[in-house]
Amino acid sequence: MRSMAAPNNSGNARSPEPEKAAARNGAAFGAIRTLRALLVGTIVVPLLLAAIGGYLSYQASYQNAAAALAEAVAVAEENTTKILDTHMLVAARIEDLLSGLTDAQLRAQEKTLHDRIAQQIEGLPQVAASWVIDADGHELVSARVFPVDRELDHSIREDFRALRNARLHSYVSAVRARSLGGDFRSYFTVSLRRQAPDGSFRGIIVVAVSGAYVASFYDALLGGSAQYAASVLLEDGTSLAHYPGDEEPPASPQQDELLAAAIATKATAGVIANGSPFSREGRLVAYERLANYPVYVTIERTRASIEEEWLKAMAGYAAIGVPAAIGLILLSLLALRRTRREQSALAAARDAITERAAIEAQLHQAQKMEAVGLLTAGIAHDFNNLLMIVSGNITLLEGDLKTNDARRQRFIASALKGCERASDLTKRLLGFARREPVDPQPVDINEVIRRMSDLAWHSLGDRIAVTSRLSDDLWPVYVDPNQLETALLNLALNARDAMAGGGRLTIETVNCHVGEADENNPGIVPGDYVVTSIDDTGSGMPPEVRDKAFDPFFTTKEAGKGTGLGLSQVNGFVTRFGGRCIIDSKPGRGTAVKLYLPRYFGAIERGEIHAAASEHDKTPDPVGDSADRAAGRRAATS
C-alpha cells in the first residue's frame, strides 16, 4: 500500500508553512553545520599547521646544523693546518741543526743533539716526539730517548719508503703507537726528507703529532658532546686522529661510502648525510681538505642530536600553540552547544506556533462547516416540505387520471422519479448537516464487506476486478452500519468512475495502533484503529484537487452531473464517529482512501451485525441510481 498524507480539510490550497519550516530548519542546520565545520577546522587546521611548521622547523634545524658543522670544520681545518705547519717548522729547524754533520758525527754528538732537540720541542705541547733516521733506516738521534736503539730497522716505514723512492719533500703518515719515555701515546707523524748537497737521500726527520692534543682541540670546539665526532684523514681514508680520542690508536676505519666517494674525487669541502631523514641512526658529516696537505678534516653529528634539538624548539612552540588551540576548540564546542540549545528552543517555539495555527485553522473550518450545515439543514427541510406537496399532488393526479395513455403514464413516472431523487438529495444534505438520525452499533467491518460483496462489488462492472484482503481477528468498531455501507459503496463507485477503462479495486482491512508522533499516520489521535482501505488503479488526483476533495460542494464534474457531497459525506460519517479519512493519490498512480475508525473495546455479537444488516439491507441498483450516486464520486474522476 502506498504511503498516505493527511488532506488539508480547510478547503484552501496547500499552506506554505511546511516550505517555510523547511527553510528555517535548513537555515538552523546550516548554522550547526557551519559550527561543526569550524570545530573540525579548529582541530584539523592546528594539526595541519603543526605538521607543516614541524616539517619546516626540522628542515631549518637540519640546515642550521649543516651550517654549524661547515663553520666548525673550517675552524678545524685552520687549526690542523697550523699544527702540521708547526711540525714542518720543527722538522726544518732540526734539519738546520744537523746541517753539515755526517752520520758519524751525529752518532758522536748524540747526547748534545738529544738535549737540543728536546729543548726545541719542550714548549710545543702538540709535538709528541722527534727523531732522525739515516739512509739505511736506523735511528741517529731522538728527542725523547737516549741512547737510541741502533738495531731497530725503520726502512719498512711507509714514510721512509715514500721519501726515499719518490721526489717528495714531506710526508704525513698514519697513526702509530710507540713507547716514549715509558708513556704509551697515540700520534701520527710528519716526515721531512734529508738530502745531501748533491740531492742524494740521507734519511728522514720524523716529528710526531700528539693525538691527545688534537682531541683536546676538538673537545673544546665541540663542547665535549658525545653527539659529535671528528676525524683527521688522509686522502685514502686512513685515520690520522679522531675525536673522542682513545689511548689505543684506532685502526683505519672504513668511512662512509658517500664521504669516501667525495674524498676520492678530491672535493675540497662539503656536507653529506647518510641514513634516512626519518631515522635516528643517520649522520650529518661536514668535510674540508687542507690547502697544503693531502689531509681531510671531518666533523659529524648524529641525526638523533638534531632531532632532539628540533624537539626542544617544538616544545616551546607547543607550550604556546597547544593551549591556544585547546581554547579555540573549547570556544567552538561552547558555541556549538549554545547554538543547538537556541535551535532547539526556536524549534519548540515554531512547533508551538504551527500547532496553534493548525488549531485555529481547524476551528475556522469547524465554524465554516457548522454555518454551512445550518444553512443546508434549513434549506433541506424547506425543500423537503415543498417536495412532499409536489409528490403528493402528482400521486393524486395519477389516481384521478386513470388513463391508459402510455405517454402520460411515462410523464407521471418520470415526475415521481424526479421527486424520489430530490428526496434522496435532501437526505444527503441532512446527512452532511448531521441532522439525520444515526443508530450506532458494534460492527464487524469484515462482515459488512462480505454481505455487500454479493451484489454491491459485482455491480461495478465486468471490467473492474475486485480483491478483498480482510484481516483475521479484526477489532470491532462502533458506527451506524447503514452509513458505513453507504460510505463504502460511495467510495467503490467513485473508484469505478476513476477507472473508466477498467482496473483493479482492492478492499483491505487491518488493525492499526497509532502512537505519539507517528510519521506514517500524521494528524491522527494516538490509539487503536481499524483501517479500511479502498485502493484503485485509476487516473489519480493532482495535489491541488486531493487537498480539496473533502470540501463540501467541491467537484470537478460538469454542471448538472454532481453535487460535490460524496467524499464530504464520507468524511463527515467517519469524523462523526471519532475517526479520520486520509487520501493518498498521485496522477497516473491511482488513489487509496483509508478510513480510520476507533476500535470498540466492548463485546460484539454476530447476531447484532446480521440484524442490523437485514434491517438496512437495501442495496441500491447501480444502474437505476447511477445518476444519484454520481454526486458522491470522487472529485478527481468526476
Q: Where are the domains of the chain?
A: 1-359, 437-637
Q: Which is nearest to 289 in space by CA: 263, 260, 257, 261?
A: 263
Q: What is the pLDDT of residue 474?
A: 92
Of 185-189, 329-333, 335-339, 493-497, which gets the smallest average pLDDT?
A: 185-189
User: Cβ distance 390 to 398 under 8 Å?
Assistant: no
- Residues counted in the chain: 638
169 pLDDT exceeds 80?
yes
CA distance 388 to 392: 6
C-alpha 372, offset from chain centre: 59
- Name the DSSP class of 106: H
Closest CA to 516 of 529, 527, 503, 528: 527
Range from 77-86, 181-190, 514-523, 568-577 carrying the lowest mean pLDDT: 181-190
Query: Minimum mean pLDDT among 326-330, 406-410, 430-434, 599-603: which range?
Result: 430-434
Distance (Å, whole) CA 630 – CA 635: 10
Range 176-185, long-range pairs (CB < 8 A, 24+ positions): 176/208, 176/249, 177/248, 177/249, 178/129, 178/208, 180/128, 180/129, 180/144, 180/145, 180/208, 181/144, 181/145, 184/247, 185/128, 185/210, 185/211, 185/212, 185/247
Whether the Cβ atoms of residue 495 and residue 534 lie closer than 8 Å to each other: yes
DSSP state at residue 456: I
User: Three-state secondary structure along 464-498?
Assistant: EEEEEEECCCCCCEEECHHHHHHHHHHHHHHHHHH
* pLDDT tens column, 78-137: 988 988 888 889 888 888 888 888 888 888 888 988 888 888 888 888 888 888 999 888
**509 touches 532 (CB < 8 A):** yes
- The pLDDT of residue 530 is 94
Q: Tens digits of per-residue pLDDT, 30-89?
A: 677 777 777 787 778 777 877 887 788 778 888 888 888 889 889 988 988 988 888 889
- For the domain made up of 1-359, the CATH class stated in words is alpha beta
Output the pLDDT for position 470.
92
Q: What is the mean pLDDT of residues 339-349?
A: 84
Chain Cα centroid distance, residue 490: 55
Rounded to whole angstroms, what are the CA distances from 198 to 104, 194, 205?
A: 19, 11, 18
Q: How far is CA 230 from the centre of its chain?
A: 52
- Residue type for position 231: S
Report the candidate in 486, 489, 438, 451 with the shortest Cα–Cα distance to residue 610: 451
The answer, yes or no, to whether residue 517 has pLDDT greater than 70, is: no
Cα–Cα distance measured from residue 429 to residue 232, given in angstroms and rounded to the nearest whole number: 120
pLDDT class of 612 with cuts at 50, 70, 90? very low
Region 497-525: mean pLDDT is 82
In this structure, what DSSP letter does residue 632 have? G
Residue 138 has pLDDT above 70, yes or no: yes
Pairing of strands 580-585, 527-536: unpaired
d(C-alpha 314, C-alpha 61), whole Å: 11
| Alpha-carbon span 194 to 414, nearest angstrom | 159
Q: Strands, DSSP E only, in 290-365?
A: 295-302
Q: What is the pLDDT of residue 531?
A: 94
Task: Please report the pLDDT score of residue 247 as a whole number.
Answer: 44
The predicted model gives 243-248 an average pLDDT of: 60
* Average pLDDT value for the chain: 76
Contact 244, 229 (CB under 8 A): yes
CA angle (631 as vertex; 1, 382 as ends), nearest 5: 135
Whether the per-residue pLDDT at 508 is higher than 90: the answer is yes
H-run or E-run covering 406: helix 406-432
Task: Report whether pLDDT(629) > 60.
Answer: no
Look-up of cell digits 483475521:
472
Report pLDDT for 378. Answer: 72
CB-CB contact of 143 with 130 (8 Å):
yes
Percent of the chain with pLDDT over 90: 7
CA distance 403 to 552: 44
β-bridge mates for residue 177, sequence order: 186
Residue 27, pLDDT score = 59
Query: Is the CA virtual torsion 216, 218, 224, 226 positive or negative?
Result: negative
- Cα 470 to Cα 481: distance, rounded to the nearest angstrom: 17
Task: Report pLDDT for 453.
Answer: 66
Split at pLDDT 50, 70, 90, the class of 20 is low
Q: Are 279 and 307 in contact (CB under 8 A)?
A: no
- As a whole-number percent, the residues of the chain with pLDDT over 70 amount to 76
At residue 363, does pLDDT exceed 50? Answer: yes
Task: Residue 87: name the closest of 5, 215, 192, 178 by CA.
Answer: 192
pLDDT tens digits for range 407-456: 777 778 888 788 877 776 776 666 655 555 677 889 999 988 888 765 56
**Cα dist. 325→86, 392, 429 in Å?**
60, 96, 75
Sequence letter at residue 402: K
- Give the whole-angstrom CA distance, residue 390 versus residue 420: 11
Decide the pairing of beta strands 464-470 and 503-514: parallel
Can you give the pLDDT at residue 563? 57
Class of domain 437-637 (CATH, top level): alpha beta
The 10s digit of each residue's pLDDT in 527-566 is 999 999 999 988 888 888 877 777 766 666 655 555 566 7
Least confident segment among 146-160, 514-528, 608-622? 608-622
Which residue's C-alpha cell is 480539496? 548
How far apart CA 96 and CA 205 sit, in angstroms, is: 11
Cell triple for 77: 681545518
pLDDT band at 631 (very low <50, low <70, confident <90, very high): very low
Work out the pLDDT band at 620, boundaries 50, 70, 90: very low
pLDDT at 603 over 60: yes
Question: What pLDDT is recorded for position 10?
Answer: 38
